[in-house]
Structure 1
Amino acid sequence: MDMKEWLRSHPEIRAIRIAAADLNGEARGKRIPVRFADKAIEGGARFPLSAMNLDIWGEDIEDSPLVLASGDQDGVLHPTERGFVPAPWLKTPTAILPIWMYREDGQPFDGDPRQALARVVARYAERGLHPVVAVELEFFLIDDSGRTLEVPPSPRSGKRRKAGEILSLRALDRFDDFFTELYDACEAMDIPADTAISEAGLGQFEINLMHQDDALRAADDAWLFKMLVKGLARNYGFAGSFMAKPYEDYAGSGMHMHFSVLDEQGRNVFDDGTERGSDTLLHAINGCLEAMPGSTLVFAPHDNSFDRMVPGAHAPTGICWGYENRTAALRVPGGNPAARRIEHRVAGGDTNPYLVIAAVLGAALNGIEDARMPPEPVTGNAYELDLPRIPANWGEAIGTFERDPLIARIFAPELIRNYVMTKRQELRYMRELSPREKVEIYLDAV
């Protein structure tokens, strides 16, 4: 539907948010009266280029060439193909207009994470290939009103259930009103939310988003879903958090990504009619494995991210793959060979969906182009195997991302530079904070 027509068909809308994702996945934008929406639709909006490159506190990056050295120049942000999306968690009837950044001359701004994903998708299109993507997002419902984080009391009984409850219907039922409103909001926002389950952490849940044959739309869905969960949860008096590891003794939250690749005839190039899968599947697996050390900063972008990456806690640390093996970093699910796909299990819930999907799809395409076979698939418990490991800490991950030639094939030099500068600044300042202060930052921000 035409964007102006959408507004005419929603006369209840009183405010507009124009919003773009920065490198941390934070929404950056403006509120405008609905009567001035035509200006944003037709002419775009102007932000400083540096607004796409802020740290987790929303501060400028020191010594960034985007700030003082260049006079803090503006870019132009145009609406994405998504068009208007309602924001059901706000009291004022509001629509979000997702936007993305271009330079003054009309060229895409390489520091925009959505443009980074578009760049990878264009590489696929040049080869006549088309990725299909779905994500699974884990998150916590948390009572953060006291000095320590707790599971919110059940609205039904008033009691707190202080245990992880894997696949518990009772856990879902305790927050039935929240989940019913969440699904209603997803429908209004055209986010394809599918199955919800309770997970292994305290007050932890997972919702699957259905596969999309448009990788950009899949990333939009995940980005908007995170905004929705966080906004709606506050209406119920608790936090909805995608923080990687809020509780030391329980598993953290991941963002698992499933993907396959279609050719120009719509055939799944990972399928050869057998359980093994095609050589192209194996080449894509090898590409993902080879790029995993360099990609770790995208999959674990924060100080708290590495608290999740410990053996035996449902977060892969060894670089390996396997068939139907959830202890492996890459899992090839079973089932009908026509639906053969890869599940990438490394990323945390605290990530930027645009960068994660770009990193995974870009690594897979590197592998398809290089046509090298992976090592043998693992069986049994991958945590007990002697495997190559991803970077063990934040600083190591930053350096590996910056230097890896495989990352340079996926991301533009400007994005690599900006992301590294952002993470080094965050690393420096996080060292000055107490654990409680870090939680206060990450609980809502990521």
Structure 2
Amino acid sequence: MAVRPAAAAPVEEAEAFLAAHPEIVAFDLVLIDANGIARGKMLRRHELLPLFKNGRHLPGSILGLDVSGEDVEETGLVWSDGDADRRGWPIAGSLNRLPWTTPPRGEVRVMLHELDGQPMAADPRHALARQDAALRAMDLAPAAAFELEFYLFDRGATTDGRPRPALLPLSGDRPHAIQVYGVDDLDRMEPFVDAVYRAAEAQKLPVETLISEYAPGQYELTLHHRPDVLAAADDLVMLKRLLRAVALRHGMIASFMAKPVAGCAGSGMHLHASVAGADGRNRFADIDGDLAPLLKHAIAGLLATAEEAALVFAPHANSWRRFAAASYAPTQPTWGTNNRSVAVRVPAGAAETRHLEHRWAGVDANPYLVATAVLAGMRHGIEARLDPGAPATGNGYAAAASTALPPDWRSAIVAAERSDFLKRALGERLHTVFLALKRAEYLKLAAEVTPAERSQLLDLI
């Protein structure tokens, strides 16, 4: 018999939800894999209570799938493991309704555990929970919020196969200029925007500011900060699913590729983070008009571990197309205050709300793994009392850095393979699984003959 883990959501949560929502006929059971992809099953209404009471068997190989959903035997989770079942247990507070569905459906997210109740070590959410617990053991409670950049494209195919910015619903116009921070284009998106905010409100998702970003059809949504970093990562997972679903119902594609269009801005997933002491006060708050030493140590830790953790922040071949000078994406491990040309930024604002903004990750990264690597890097800097050096001023792209980012995806895979830091941050099992997936994806993509290759070489060489 499976052992119920202490972190599993209480049965009373499901009982109250079913009583309050008699209209819901089915539930999406969702587990987030190492690539940040939602996988699972659709349950009928009568199956929800047994899930909360006893958990639900899921194959461990669900966490050994590459980005295209194929088994990767090298993860150790497929045939060498006998494709053994683990047990999915509901995450407290994750039971929600999907307001865009007809007939109405709900959603419940699960975390994977071994049958004896221990966390399944390849589940990314458990890795983040461990890093959160490690900081809390130092009387430092992480608070966090994500920003999400994305594109809206037409669903229809084009003759050249390139995505086109989605039509603005009110005017029928297609965005063709950058118009960063333009409010008129946001107004012309009103039916879609209204649907997004209504769905977020129904899901109690703390979605805040919408911005027209630095390319035609590119936007940004911010999330309110959480005193619980796990909840902040959950928010990001929910928001991506919400945007994809609402866009689909408005004839659009919400794209979370890091660089979907050549020559246009890439899409990032910035993480804002701070830590509170046992008294609840922000330990990154300024001291005597200067940045707190603890904040500087945390920044230094992120810079020192940048190369080793780069694969987490840029996990796909396409991720590396995002990094370019003067692109608002960092190209080297630098930091600065009130400066968007650096990798770790200390935003302007009230002294008591001081925090860091980690700008490396693309929107294609897994938020649980991103937050895991960020917390681990901060903790490394704090424990070793590292010094980040002088902040970059002016154009951070021209500043010198003591360390460097890997130049490409393959180099990032090698750096991650060799990294004791990343192995400790993720845990040995997840490190093995994540690297096996990235190696398999690299080899699969490297074997492809692309249209660009044929167009350049087919009848010319």
Deviation at 1:275, TM superposition (A): 4.2
Runs of 4+ in structure 1 over 6 Å off = none
CA shift in 2, pair 1:420/1:264, >3 Å: same
8 Å Cα contact 2:170-2:191 kept in structure 1: no
2:426 matched to which residue of 1? Answer: 411
Pick from 52, 59, 63 the counterpart of residue 52 of structure 1: 63
TM-score (normalizing by structure 1)? 0.95
1:430 aligns with 2:430: no
The alpha-carbon deviation at position 384 of structure 1 amounts to 1.8
1:223 maps to 2:234: no
For normalisation by structure 2, the TM-score amounts to 0.92
Question: What does the per-residue CA deviation read over 1:53-101, in whole Å, with 9 as the maximum and x for residues that have no partner?
Answer: 2101111103332111121111111001123111123222011111001
For 2:113, the equivalent position in structure 1 comes to 102
Query: How many Å separate the matches in 2 of 1:436 and 1:414?
Result: 37
Task: Establish whether residue 3 from structure 1 lines up as the match of residue 2 from structure 2.
Answer: no
Q: What is the SS of the residue equivalent to 2:231?
A: helix
1:36-75 alignment runs, 5 A limit: 36-75=47-86
The total of aligned residue pairs comes to 437
| Residues 142-188 of structure 1, C-alpha deviations (whole Å, 9 max, x = no match) | 11412321111222222212121210111211211101110110111
Of 127, 131, 135, which residue of structure 2 is paired with 1:116? 127
Question: d(CA) in 1 for partners of 2:177 and 2:445?
Answer: 30
**Corresponding residue SS for 1:131:** strand
Does residue 181 of the first structure (1) align with residue 195 of the second (2)?
yes
User: What is the CA distance between 1:435 and its match in structure 2?
Assistant: 5.5
Aligned counterparts, 1:104-183, within 5 A: 104-146=115-157, 147-183=161-197
Structure 2 counterpart SS, 1:63: helix
Taking structure 1 as reference, are residues 274 and 233 closer, same or farther at Cα in structure 2, changes over 3 Å only? farther
The one-letter amino acid of 1:403's match is R
Cross-structure match for 1:308: 322
Tell me the SS of whatever aligns to 1:421: helix
Contact 1:275 1:334 in 2 (8 A): no
Q: Which runs of 5+ in 1 are unaligned?
A: 438-446
Say yes or no: does 1:237 pair with 2:251. Answer: yes
Residues 130 and 436 of structure 1, relative CA distance in 2, 3 Å threshold: farther
Counterparts of 1:332-371 in structure 2 under 5 Å?
A: 332-371=346-385
AA of the residue aligned to 1:393 = D
Q: Could you list the per-position Cα deviations for residues 231-272 of structure 1 after superposition, in whole angstroms to 9, with x for gaps in the alignment?
A: 110111110111111111111100011111001101111124
Query: After superposition, where does 1:354-393 map in structure 2 within 5 Å?
Result: 354-387=368-401, 388-393=403-408
Q: For residue 135 of structure 1, what is the amino acid of its counterpart?
A: F
Alignment-derived partner of residue 12 in structure 1: 23
1:442 paired residue number: none
Is the CA contact (8 Å cut-off) linking 1:151 and 1:203 kept in structure 2?
Answer: yes
Q: Residue 259 of structure 1 aligns to a residue in which SS? A: strand
Cα distance per residue 1:356-411 (max 9 Å; x no partner):
11111111011111112111111011112333421111111111112122223311
SS of the equivalent of 2:135 reads: helix
Contact 1:13-1:93 at 8 Å conserved across structures: yes
Could you tell me whether the CA contact under 8 Å between 2:284 and 2:292 is conserved in 1? yes
Q: What does residue 399 of structure 1 align with? A: 414
- 2:6 match: none
For 1:273-352, list aligned pairs within 5 A: 273-352=287-366
The CA distance in 2 between the partners of 1:436 and 1:150, in whole Å, is 19
Contact 1:82 1:98 in 2 (8 A): no
Change (3 A) 1:204 1:436: farther
Deviation at 1:276, TM superposition (A): 2.5
Over the aligned positions, Cα root-mean-square deviation in angstroms equals 1.4
Identity of aligned residues (%): 38
SS of residue matched to 1:114: helix
Report the equivalent of 1:210: 224
Post-superposition shift, 1:12? 1.1
